[in-house]
Amino acid sequence: MSSSRDPILGEITFFGGTFAPHNWAFCDGQLLAVSQYQALFSIIGSQFGGDGRSSFALPDFRGRLPVGTGQRPGSVHNYQLGEKSGQTYVTLSEANMPAHTHGATLNHMNIYMYATTADGTQSTPATGSVLAKGIGSNGVDVAQYISSTATPTPTTVNLGGVETPSGTSDNTGDTGLGDQQFNLMPYYAIHAIICTNGLYPSFN
């Protein structure tokens, strides 16, 4: 303890030893019997745990940092005595990230259609066929294809009509591992202890 005065019942401090001194106990959430620690129970009650009839719990500072009670200016949260919150590890979601964009490189593809003014010689397309002038046979078969090596040489043609772009949405590419983020400031582990037998505090 940092002071030579007699400790006050319910006082919490930090201790660098490996044991809890006489009349002190570790703040590890342990349950105490109301019948054995009536004075301490009258001060802290069951706000840290216990049923409040036969047992009550000491504060549990294992892996936790203390924070002052109340609502500081500019804060929307009012910290209540005995309140516990916070996580050692958190997983960030899209809502935790700042607004941002992802760059993407889009490539275009040219599609060509070849045709010729020569009379067609094939009624069904074959490998290497291109569109040609349709030649009917008794109004039934229409030879509208010709070999791509025919004369005159087939050339590209422009397709008419209304252009209607279409496609499906896609991702630019997934990245990241999704690991949890360690959510603590630099720390130094030390025992928190509470006085279980000391001067009974007076009320102002």
Same domain, 19 and 58: yes
Residue 35 has pLDDT above 80, yes or no: yes
Mean pLDDT of 117-146: 72
- State pLDDT tens for residues 16-32: 999 999 999 999 999 99
Q: Give 163's pLDDT tier (boundaries 50, 70, 90).
A: low
Alpha-carbon distances of 90 from 23, 60, 64, 79, rounded to whole Å? 38, 21, 15, 21
For residue 31, give the CATH number of its domain.
Answer: 3.90.1340
Answer yes or no: is 118 within a domain: yes
Residue 43 has pLDDT above 90, yes or no: yes
Answer yes or no: is 88 within a domain: no
Cα separation of 32 and 52, whole Å? 10
Residue type, 53: R
Q: In 3D, which of 70, 72, 7 has the Cα closest to residue 43?
A: 7
Answer yes or no: is 125 within a domain: yes
Find out whether 155 and 132 touch, Cβ atoms under 8 Å.
no
Which of 58-72, 129-143, 179-193 holds the top average pLDDT? 58-72
- pTM, to two decimals: 0.60
Could you list the residue range(s) of the whole structural domain that residue 138 is in? 114-156
Answer yes or no: is 165 within a domain: no
